[in-house]
Amino acid sequence: MLEIHKKIVLDEHQKPFAVQISIDEFERLEEVIENFGLSKLIDEVKDDERLSVADAQDYYRTLKADVEG
């Protein structure tokens, strides 16, 4: 299990309103959430039409060109 060292931030009435975590832990949480989302997406599209390797590579090149361009 991912261990998170959090600091609870209180307002002037001593009620919790925020949490602070380290950047390292935040980045690990981001990765876990992204991986979970990706796995859900994979499950959702597993029966959809498949691309050939060549078509997938062509599509990847267009994505990469869009990002670089």
What is the tens place of the pLDDT at every residue in 10-46?
999 999 999 999 999 999 999 999 888 878 877 777 7
Give the C-alpha separation, 30 to 1, whole Å: 15
Q: Match 């009620």 to its residue by tokens.
A: 15
Give the alpha-carbon dihedral of 37, 41, 44, 47, to 10 degrees.
-150
Domain boundaries, the chain: 7-68
Instruction: Give the predicted TM-score (pTM) of the model.
Output: 0.55
Cα distances (Å, whole numbers) of residue 9 to 14, 17, 24, 27: 9, 6, 19, 20
